[in-house]
A and B are shown apart, each in its own frame.
Chain A
């Protein structure tokens, strides 16, 4: 790099071995170097002609620099190609495809877990429904059974009570008939006593009877 910065003070003609870099300087001040260029043209080999040629147009057309550039380009390009083809590209492709498969695997796992959870939720819902139905059936069975039992008990009680009522009514009727029978006796007796008290003499039984039946 430093060689490229050599000053114009070095005449290419005077020191041909050191002055290859002089080419750089020529373009800094075209007017000043013009004579130097012309001078150098006569002395220097084609290797040093780069600087002088700039006046003729683009420096890119100085074909003496082509071969070296192309050889170096092929070498450097090949190095880069090998580095990319053997190291970087496989590594990057590997990590990208690994990431892709990891993501799809994770997605598949998540999907499977979600499906499983859904199946379980469905199963538990079914179980709950079944339990509900069973409970409802049990409750209605129990109710029906209880109703039947209570109806049966009630019927028995009713029958028992009806029998008691019947008995009571029968005995009541008997007592009443008995009492009615006594009423006649009492009335006869009372009437005979009343007649005896009023008349002073006992009334005959037949008269009393006739009077009572008349009443």
Chain B
């Protein structure tokens, strides 16, 4: 699988078509799911943004990305309602396979997970932290995959409507639905393909 992917990349980026450097950003809704939260019907959600910078040739793009995943949900514990914060940021690399009106994306990421829960009573805080398996400050690896629709707004601008799943190994997963813009940098800014 890895060899096939490498061959595809080499073939793509060594073809006669010149490469394009693109940059973009997105903003949208994120929902977080994890087994201990799903069990008690807790579904944190929030709004996050992201950015990416990539190089593309033919229909394949290789990009680095950043995505913020701030989410919050309500738990009911020991007779009270409290907020559980399940934030994370993702930094990683992905392959983007672009077609006429849609694209698919697949990548790996490093996640900075910061979850918190604040209950005044210390014993309740401790019990709830255990029940909901709160991950206070951890760095984990994972994957992302998704896809969406895109189309030209002008010669260099594209709109993007994206669905992605950011999956953190052993922790949980975020589903995001966002809108974004991507911009193809003109060659006069970056003289790629001339070397």
Chains A and B bind each other: no
The chain B residues found within 8 Å of chain A, CB to CB, are none
The chain A residues found within 8 Å of chain B, CB to CB, are none
